[in-house]
Amino acid sequence: MKHFEEQTLLFYLLRVAPVGILSVLLLLSCAVNFRLIPLGEPSSWVQGTAVSPLPAGYLKLLFALQWCFCMSILLALPRFFSGKQKLFLIFAVALICRLLLLGNAPSDDMNRYLWEGRVLARGISPYHHAPDDRLLNSLAKQDPFHEKINHPHMTAAYPPLTVALFSLLGKLWYHPLTIKGTLMMLDLGTMAFLALLLAHRRLDFRWLALYAFNPVILWAFAAEGHFDVIQCFLLAGAICFFDRKKWGWMFLLAGLSVQVKYVSLPAVLFLINRGNFRHVWIALVAVLLPYGLFSLAFANENLHGMFIGILQFGDSFAFNGSIHTLLRVLLGEIEPATMICKVFLAALLIWGLFHFHPERNSRYRNDPVSGCFYVLACILLLAPTVHFWYVSWVIPFLVLQPSRPWMLLCLTIVFYFVTYGIYHHTGVWRLPVWAYLCEWLPFYALLILQGVFFVRQARSGMETNPPRTVSVVIPALNEEELIASCVGETLKDKAVTEAIVIDGGSSDRTRKRAVEAGARVLVDTRSLKEGGGRGGQICKGILAAGGDLVAVVHADTLVKAPAFTGMCDVLDSQPRLCGGALGSLFAGRDPKLGLINFLNDLRAIFLGISFGDQVQFFRRQSVTAKQLFPCIPLMEDVEFGIQLSKLGPQAFLFGNALVSPRRWEVRGFKNAFSVTGRVASYLLKRMGGAPDTQAMYRSYYGKEQWR
């Protein structure tokens, strides 16, 4: 008994070890530049004289490593962790990461935050008196941050509520730590809202890692202290209250988000619907009241002056804009490039309002996330100036709707830091062409590919009705030992209305045991040339099914309740989804199987290709109407995953379907390389036409039999 307990403990530790090691490595990467927080004179925190920033080369390496750690933790979190355990681990590691980065020298924007707050506290309008205004000379001489303010000729560009917040924090303690500490708390608050949003959408809490450990978030907020986190907090909170139909709180936070960053305004429009329209006044008050109070406080100043700074920044500055930079090169000047971007942006925003609004498109029913994601992404891509922390605008939505192009941009934005190195050595703020291309080209390559699928999906006419029932299709051949348990576990789920076993001509008691377990049995003994094989079996089962959803379960797989109910819940809360994969684990304690599980998840997340043993599920009517499931003997799961993308996005649920490891026990770990090679070969061949799957089948199995 003691030996068994020791082995069980060892097995548990082995399964937890990967995420533990990755978490430690992430913490070490945050601690590389750790220094004790300077609590003395504020001048010790002025950018350029405080903690020496990392050389740009080291910073780029750390940033890239942290991105790898972030994605690896996302995949490595143990399936057997409860939701509370996952949240505890993510929040604990996230908090320590932020504390380690808190002592990092803040961005020089911090100097402006503190200065403008101080100016306001003295009863002077920062919207009408720039930092280099002679009237402020006496105040400037006594201020430790004034000398390092960037663009001192420009008046305040931030909305009045933001400046008022800086003023309040400065009164508490005129020190960067006051602002950075407040921003860190709001950063953690954003994570809390995102956790609630994930729970509402029945998504795994591990997706929170995309925000919690994202290097863009870590360096933008904890390290450099940019206030964009306030926008993230308020928008995430507004959507959270949208889900709960708490309209007053929703509009209050939505209005305040506009008072933090003007780019929030288009996103707020997607929160308005017929049911809450009478509460819109709350958002209007939240947006307009600070302007009214400022106008009263500075009655001698003109109202237009409050917008001069932001207009000047938008019209006269340009740096690292993904599209604006190309236009500027072609046209030779900033102004015409900016005008074209404005027109294009206006057109995209109007189109997006009609396509993504929950009131106008059933795909986005009761969910404003897609629309908010879209408009903020458009603004980011068409903005004349794009600093690395601007990417943080979309990362909260990336947690809720993972997107491979945007996940990649969180890595390639690392080339932005080439500017830091050039500025350090030359004093010139410049991004070389090669760095610009490395930053944006990979992202746009994936974005265009995603756009092609998006156009197909928009035209597909996919059903979006809330699914309530599931038909489980089980292809089988000589599975008398496993079929009863497979069917039995399936029928325990309340959402499952039928289990359909399609037998390929078993010579044992597979059919009898399936019937005894409660399944409906169909027989398909067609040859490969006639459309037989596992793909043909599954096709026959799909056509016989009657559920709202169909889930394909292999006979050697156990799916425990309420996994199928969870599938319905996910597609109900996100009608834009056409299906996806549950996710699975191989039974057994061989560490190699754990690596295979990791690689399977990696492929499903980053390549969008799920295998049949990961339990694919989909909306039945749309798939049968378009005959999307391929009747091929091999690679039917890979091909179907590609075809399913024509309907809509897919979800990967990180489920716990338990798969027999017999294939790996017979063929050995080298089978992983064989499978990878065959999948790659199939994908390459299909680019030139339909691959010969019958030949591939015979090459893999050796004869007309599969397990």
DSSP state of 69: H
pLDDT score, position 298: 87
Divide the 707 residues of the chain into consecutive groups of 10 and give the mean pLDDT of each group.
46 78 95 65 48 69 96 94 96 97 91 95 93 92 91 92 96 94 98 98 97 98 96 98 97 98 97 96 96 86 84 90 96 94 97 96 95 98 97 98 97 95 87 96 97 93 95 96 96 97 94 96 90 91 97 96 96 96 88 86 91 96 94 92 93 94 75 82 88 85 54
CA distance 54 to 104: 9
- Tokens at 404, concatenated: 């491979």
> Which residue spans within 152-256 are E strands per DSSP?
none
The DSSP annotation for 80-137 comes to TS-HHHHHHHHHHHHHHHHHHHTTSPPPTHHHHHHHHHHHHHTT--TTTS-TT-GGGH
- Tokens at 400, concatenated: 């809720």
Question: The dihedral of CA 509, 510, 513, 518: what is its sign?
Answer: negative
Helix (H) or strand (E) run with residue 497 in it: strand 496-503
- Contact of 261 with 387, CB cutoff 8 Å: no
CA distance 70 to 88: 16
Contacts of 156 (CB under 8 A, 6+ apart): 112, 116, 126, 127, 163, 309
CA distances from 425 to 33, 50, 58 (A): 20, 18, 15
CA distance 513 to 533: 21
pLDDT score, position 706: 45
Contacts of 278 (CB under 8 A, 6+ apart): none
How many other C-beta atoms can be found within 10 angstroms of the C-beta atom of residue 477?
Answer: 21
pLDDT score, position 55: 73
3-state secondary structure of 385: strand
pLDDT score, position 47: 47
CA distances from 117 to 138, 296, 312, 517 (A): 16, 18, 20, 72
CA distance 170 to 308: 24
- Tokens at 464, concatenated: 């979006």
- Contact of 587 with 517, CB cutoff 8 Å: no
Contacts of 299 (CB under 8 A, 6+ apart): none
CA distances from 645 to 387, 482, 566, 679 (A): 33, 32, 21, 18
Pairing of strands 520-523, 557-558: unpaired
pLDDT score, position 652: 96
pLDDT score, position 1: 38
CA distance 678 to 691: 11
Amino acid at 392: S
pLDDT score, position 677: 87
Question: The dihedral of CA 539, 545, 551, 556: what is its sign?
Answer: negative
User: Class assignment of domain 470-701?
Assistant: alpha beta
Q: Shortest CA distance to 185 belongs to which of 254, 226, 233?
A: 233
CA distance 700 to 693: 10
3-state secondary structure of 578: coil
Q: Shortest CA distance to 536 belongs to which of 636, 646, 675?
A: 636
Give pTM, 2 decimals. 0.94
**Sequence ranges of the domains in the chain:** 2-459, 470-701
